[in-house]
Amino acid sequence: MSDAPASPRPVALVTGAAIRVGRAIAVALCEAGYRVWLHHHRSEVEARALHAALSATEGAPLPLVAADLLDEGSRRALMTTVLDPAGPAGGRLDLLVNNAASFERGAFTARDDHDLRRVLELNLVAPLSLARAAASALVPREGSIVNILDVAAVHPWPEYLDHCTAKAGLLAATRGLAVELAPVRVNGVAPGTVAWPPGLDDPARRQAIVDAIPLGRIGTPADVADAVLFLARSRHVTGQILAVDGGRLAAAGGQRP
Which CATH number does the domain housing residue 91 bear? 3.40.50.720
Tell me, what's the pLDDT at 198?
73
Residue 20 lies in a domain: yes
Residue 4 lies in a domain: no
Average pLDDT score over the chain: 92
Task: Report percent pLDDT > 70 for the chain.
Answer: 96
Structural domain count of the chain: 1
Residue 98 lies in a domain: yes
Sheet holding 11-14, edge to edge: 64-66, 35-40, 11-14, 95-98, 144-148, 185-191, 241-244
What does the DSSP 8-state code read for residue 106? -
User: Among 83, 28, 225, 36, which Cα is nearest to 146's?
Assistant: 225
Reply yes or no: is the peptide bond before residue 8 cis, omega within 30 of 0.
Answer: no
Residue 257 lies in a domain: no
Q: For the whole model, what pTM was predicted? A: 0.93
Return phi, psi of residue 105, to 5°.
-100, 145
User: How far, in Å, CA of 146 to CA of 241, rounded?
Assistant: 9
Kind of pairing, strands 35-40 and 64-66?
A: parallel
Asked if residue 20 has pLDDT above 90, the reply is yes
Residue 61 and residue 18 in contact, taking contact as beta carbons nearer than 8 Å = no
Residue 129 lies in a domain: yes
pLDDT per position as a tens digit, 71-119: 999 999 999 999 999 999 999 999 999 999 988 787 788 888 999 899 9
Confidence of residue 156 (pLDDT cuts 50, 70, 90): confident
Tell me, what's the pLDDT at 2?
43
Dihedral-angle region of residue 239 (phi above 0 means left; psi in -120 to 50 means alpha; beta otherwise) = left
3-state secondary structure (DSSP) of residue 29: helix
Asked if residue 7 has pLDDT above 70, the reply is no
User: How far, in Å, CA of 197 to CA of 123, rounded?
Assistant: 17
Mean pLDDT on 163-179: 97
Residue 110 lies in a domain: yes
Mean pLDDT on 109-134: 94
pLDDT per position as a tens digit, 33-57: 999 999 999 999 999 999 999 998 8
Residue 101 and residue 149 in contact, taking contact as beta carbons nearer than 8 Å = no
Tell me, what's the pLDDT at 80?
99
Dihedral-angle region of residue 93 (phi above 0 means left; psi in -120 to 50 means alpha; beta otherwise) = beta
Confidence of residue 6 (pLDDT cuts 50, 70, 90): low
Tell me, what's the pLDDT at 1?
38
Residue-range definition of the domain harbouring residue 170: 11-251
Angle between helices 20-31 and 44-55 (to 10 degrees): 20
User: How far, in Å, CA of 163 to CA of 173, rounded?
Assistant: 15
Residue 5 lies in a domain: no
Residue 1 lies in a domain: no
Tell me, what's the pLDDT at 255?
55
Tell me, what's the pLDDT at 109?
81
